[in-house]
A and B are shown apart, each in its own frame.
Chain A
Amino acid sequence: MEFSGAVDIPAARERVFAFVTNPDKVGQCGPGVESIEILDPTHFRAKAKVGVGFITARFVVDLEITEQQAPDMAVITARGQAPGSAVDAVGRMDLVEGAEPGTTTMRWAAEVSISGMIASVGARLVEGTANKMIGQTFDCIRAKIVADS
């Protein structure tokens, strides 16, 4: 599954970049995230509870910032598992100056592969659920950056 979009954030690129590459900060916005463990500056492990339809699964996800150029772009890969299910994802974000001075447009794209029970049993719900979660995540990121300022 491929997802992409753009979101306007009323803050400078540097602040946005700092927020989204800080696992403690951005982790609060991850859907269902219960804890974030920082293994090193580019490796994190998140525990998250995710529901698709009538199935709820607790995922353990290893994330790695595989590429970053502050404050322009970053690529994050993720591989996670829940009992009987797995997720593999690559996400890329590009930060550009927004239309208004001091604002940022975040362009993002993600390729997500979901395997196992959630893909099988929740097949018809996965895409809709993922879209909803992505929307919530960006709403949260924007709100928190605004609140921080």
Chain B
Amino acid sequence: MATELQTTPEVGGMGHSVKRKEDPRMIRGQGEYIEDVNLPGQLWMDIVRSPYAHATIKSIDASEALKIPGVLAVITGADLEKAGLHWMPTLAGDKQMVLPTTTVMYQAQEVAAVVATDRYAAADGIAAVYVDYEPLPVIVDPHKAMEKDAFVLRPDRAPDKQTNHIWHWESGDRAATDAALESAEVRISEDIYIPRIHVASIETCGCVADWDAVRGQLTLHMTSQAPHAIRTVLALVSGLPEQNIRVKTHDIGGGFGGKVPVYPGYVLAVVASLTVGKPVKWIEDRSENLQADSFARDYHIHAEMSATKAGKITGLKVKTLADHGYSDAAADPSKYPAGLFNVITGSYDFPNAFVEVDGVYTNKPPGGVAYRCSFRVTEAVHAIERMVDILAHDIGMDPAELRMKNFIQPEQFPYTTPTGWEYDSGNYPAALQKAMDMIDYAGLRREQVEKRERGELMGIGISSFTEIVGAGPSKDFDIIGIKMFDSCEIRVHPTGKVIARIGVQSQGQGHETTFAQIIAEELGFPAADVKIEYGDTDTAPYGLGTYASRSTPVAGAATAMASRKIKDKARKIAAHLLEAAEDDLEWTNGKFTVKGSPDRFKTIQEIAFAAYTNHPTGMEAGLEAVDYYDPPNLTFPFGSYICVVDIDKATGQVTVRRFVAVDDCGNIINPMIVDGQIHGGLTMGFAPSLLESITYDELGNNQAGTFMDYLLPTAVETPRWEVAKTITPSPHHPIGAKGVGESATVGAPPAIANAVVDALWHLGVRNIDIPLTPQKVWAILHEKGIA
């Protein structure tokens, strides 16, 4: 399919690097982001936030704020409580405050909202709201939260849940894994912390809530990755009829999981608009975004692994503490409180595995979003790839050789893991071999030996990851009860032009281009003739949105299936026009031809015209189809990355000298866009490896509240990526595609961390937690007497 092009460049089906339809408006500065939405009579909202991470609210005095010209209203938790709106449900089945009535639970938590005629008056208004707080003790460390004498952070929970322990989740066979570990020739263990980070989209969150009292219509313009789910939640919580709620997204400046949850700001803007009867706009600033929006990761992992002396792995046992902040507001599918973390056996043929995770409350913002990662897969991949490297070094085997020896082999697919996943397809040795050939692995190892003799620090790190994306099959996957299908509706116009609407939501992925290419591939309409729409719940078919690399695996499949329904009808129309039996027609290059009579054919455009002008008697006019696709399984993209680092002995600075990324995402729709996804993903994997993390001081103050302390890589810091592909189609996906948006974010960090530890192993370094900052590396070098 993607290996052999089925369409011409003019048609631009799968495998063509069609230029992005989105780019002309983006590069001209004519994209429409939430800040660009301005409605007549619009008011502004700004939010008073708590300076304390844990405190009692003794009183709130808004009188001075209300004296400021332009300030119209101040909304507090007490106001919301009257309508029962001071708490709201989270996607994870917990609840979080919209505004507190008695207690604030994290620094920067929303405390009150000020509505004003313009942004400046709103900002002056929040400065004039006086809140009298009584500070309370703070729990920052999740281990301390689990101690017996720890005070209970959430006394609002049921009497049998008066602890800081939220849930326990486990997977695999504990007894068999214990037996494997106990009888092992080699047994290793390690504590690995995956730090709290933030998606830090360039566009922060925001909305314009527009309540039209006369029409009884609520329109919510917002930054959301899942507009339909928002509409349903709004209907259920507000009691407004769902047909009178319209959620509309615009161009979204990055989502990465951070725009899946419902934040209090959205709810407050809706409440404000319902109260005042005018449109109300709320836009977060950068510090609010970094301090209060959903975080990602924050997993404290303890892993044990067993193997034979010859390097055959036999067991994996993992115990993890998950810091969720004061509320579990993760956006995981209902049955998976720790996401798909039990994919932690990775690319290896483990006979035994057992994984357990405990969720814990602390005085931090709620969340646990899948930051460019299919539900906790980044954490899993980092842990297993680090463990495999530690094992290799411990037994004195080359890390590439150990991986080759333990990979699930191509003939073992479909392969069932000890934690219950059925991997659809893969060829792991081919991907690793390709990466090794590209980077001259043997040559690098020789160079490393020479450099080490000269006292220079050079390391080589491998990551051979397996992703798990495309949630998901309805038997296991839902969010707040809504099954995780997705959808496409295609309408072919009489002139042979097409509009298609999809249930997923682009945030920069290029859906307007790639989904047009799927239709071009299936039906032969040039991709240029296919308009893709999404993000307006009044017109798009119901879908669960875009995150966890699910757009191509689920809505992409729906698009192919809807196209095939259209093709079935087109065949009937063609048979009518050509006065031939349907079975006598064959489909090639966008036309139906009578077998054996190459001159007798009808193009898809001619058929489209006939669907409205000359359709067969007894057939409905028109050429339209809709498909709601329920995937039979998830898809399992994979890849092998190799990273080479040099470490400056004087400063601890890590430089990524080379980074080769071989990805396999099944059949490829648009190679240019896939490369773009991988470049962006690698950069977002590089970032937490070396630069980014959110830490808290002992009072619970976020120590990364601006881009001065939360270090995003720019083009200056970012290495040059060398990318390549192998192609192993998904056997169950209609177009053999697997999804690629997150592979690189997931796969890159362990390659970098493995390279750094590889450079320092001879000094007695077994593990360093990311981010591998110069301070951290220098401290180790200093301790070892090197720096």
Mark A residues whose CB is within 8 Å of B.
60, 81, 83-86, 88, 113-117, 119-121, 123-124
| Interface positions of B from 7 to 56, Cβ below 8 Å from A | 48-53
Let me know if B701 and A83 touch, CB within 8 A. Answer: no
Let me know if B51 and A117 touch, CB within 8 A. Answer: yes
Residue of A nearest to B695 (CB): A123
Given contacts A81-B130, A120-B107, A120-B108, contact A86 B703 (CB under 8 A): no
| B-side contacts of A60, CB under 8 Å | 130
Cα A36 to Cα B291 with chains together (Å) = 33
Interface centre among B50, B107, B700 (most CB of A within 10 A): B107
Cα A71 to Cα B331 with chains together (Å) = 62
Residue of A nearest to B50 (CB): A116
Q: How many Å from the CB of B266 to the closest CB on chain A?
A: 21
Cα A120 to Cα B50 with chains together (Å) = 12
Let me know if B130 and A121 touch, CB within 8 A. Answer: no
Cα A113 to Cα B703 with chains together (Å) = 14
Q: How many Å from the CB of A31 to the closest CB on chain B?
A: 19
Cα A113 to Cα B51 with chains together (Å) = 11
Q: How many Å from the CB of B125 to the closest CB on chain A?
A: 10
Cα A135 to Cα B704 with chains together (Å) = 28
| A-side contacts of B709, CB under 8 Å | 121, 123-124
Cα A60 to Cα B130 with chains together (Å) = 10
Given contacts A115-B701, A121-B287, A123-B703, contact A86 B133 (CB under 8 A): yes
Let me know if B126 and A121 touch, CB within 8 A. Answer: no
Q: How many Å from the CB of B148 to the closest CB on chain A?
A: 27
Q: What string of 1s and 0s marks CB contacts (under 8 Å) between B656-694 and chain A?
A: 000000000000000000000000000000000000000
- Verify if B135 is at the interface (C-beta below 8 Å from A): yes
Q: How many Å from the CB of B435 to the closest CB on chain A?
A: 39
| A-side contacts of B131, CB under 8 Å | 81
Partner pick for A84 among B49, B133, B699, CB 8 A cutoff = B49
Given contacts A81-B130, A86-B133, A124-B709, contact A119 B287 (CB under 8 A): no
Let me know if A86 and B51 touch, CB within 8 A. Answer: yes
Let me know if A120 and B126 touch, CB within 8 A. Answer: no
Let me know if B705 and A115 touch, CB within 8 A. Answer: no
Cα A60 to Cα B129 with chains together (Å) = 12
- Verify if B765 is at the interface (C-beta below 8 Å from A): no
Cα A81 to Cα B131 with chains together (Å) = 9
- Verify if B127 is at the interface (C-beta below 8 Å from A): yes
Given contacts A83-B126, A86-B133, A115-B107, contact A121 B705 (CB under 8 A): yes
| A-side contacts of B48, CB under 8 Å | 83
- Chain B's interface size range is 20 to 34
Closest 7 CB pairs of A and B: A116-B51, A120-B705, A86-B51, A119-B701, A83-B127, A121-B705, A115-B51
Q: How many Å from the CB of B217 to the closest CB on chain A?
A: 35
Let me know if A120 and B52 touch, CB within 8 A. Answer: no
Q: How many Å from the CB of A83 to the closest CB on chain B?
A: 4
Q: How many Å from the CB of A48 to the closest CB on chain B?
A: 15
Cα A31 to Cα B151 with chains together (Å) = 37
Q: How many Å from the CB of B131 to the closest CB on chain A?
A: 8
Q: What string of 1s and 0s marks CB contacts (under 8 Å) between B53-75 and chain A?
A: 10000000000000000000000
Given contacts A117-B705, A120-B291, contact A85 B699 (CB under 8 A): no
Cα A117 to Cα B126 with chains together (Å) = 14
Q: How many Å from the CB of A33 to the closest CB on chain B?
A: 19
Partner pick for B697 among A81, A117, A123, CB 8 A cutoff = A123
Let me know if A120 and B703 touch, CB within 8 A. Answer: yes
- Verify if B378 is at the interface (C-beta below 8 Å from A): no
Cα A43 to Cα B697 with chains together (Å) = 31
- Verify if B706 is at the interface (C-beta below 8 Å from A): yes
| B-side contacts of A119, CB under 8 Å | 51, 107, 697, 699, 701
Q: What string of 1s and 0s marks CB contacts (under 8 Å) between B696-733 and chain A?
A: 01011111111011000000000000000000000000
Cα A114 to Cα B135 with chains together (Å) = 11
Cα A81 to Cα B127 with chains together (Å) = 10
Cα A60 to Cα B133 with chains together (Å) = 13
| A-side contacts of B126, CB under 8 Å | 83
Partner pick for B702 among A81, A113, A114, A120, CB 8 A cutoff = A120
Let me know if A123 and B133 touch, CB within 8 A. Answer: no
Let me know if A86 and B52 touch, CB within 8 A. Answer: yes
Interface centre among B51, B108, B699 (most CB of A within 10 A): B51
Partner pick for A116 among B701, B703, B704, CB 8 A cutoff = B701
Q: How many Å from the CB of A64 to the closest CB on chain B?
A: 15
Complex A-B: 11 CB contacts under 8 Å: A83-B48, A84-B108, A85-B51, A114-B701, A116-B50, A116-B701, A117-B51, A119-B51, A120-B704, A123-B703, A123-B705
| A-side contacts of B705, CB under 8 Å | 117, 120-121, 123
Q: How many Å from the CB of B196 to the closest CB on chain A?
A: 14
Residue of A nearest to B124 (CB): A83
| B-side contacts of A115, CB under 8 Å | 51-53, 107, 135, 699-701
Cα A10 to Cα B107 with chains together (Å) = 44
| B-side contacts of A123, CB under 8 Å | 697, 701, 703, 705, 709
| Interface positions of B from 100 to 141, Cβ below 8 Å from A | 107-108, 126-127, 130-131, 133, 135
Q: How many Å from the CB of A108 to the closest CB on chain B?
A: 23
Partner pick for A113 among B291, B699, B708, CB 8 A cutoff = B699
| A-side contacts of B701, CB under 8 Å | 114-116, 119-120, 123
| A-side contacts of B51, CB under 8 Å | 81, 84-86, 115-117, 119
A-B contact sample (15 more), CB < 8 A, given A114-B699, A117-B287, A120-B702: A81-B51, A81-B133, A84-B49, A86-B52, A88-B135, A113-B699, A115-B135, A115-B700, A115-B701, A116-B51, A117-B51, A117-B705, A119-B107, A121-B287, A124-B709
Cα A114 to Cα B697 with chains together (Å) = 10
| B-side contacts of A116, CB under 8 Å | 49-52, 107-108, 701
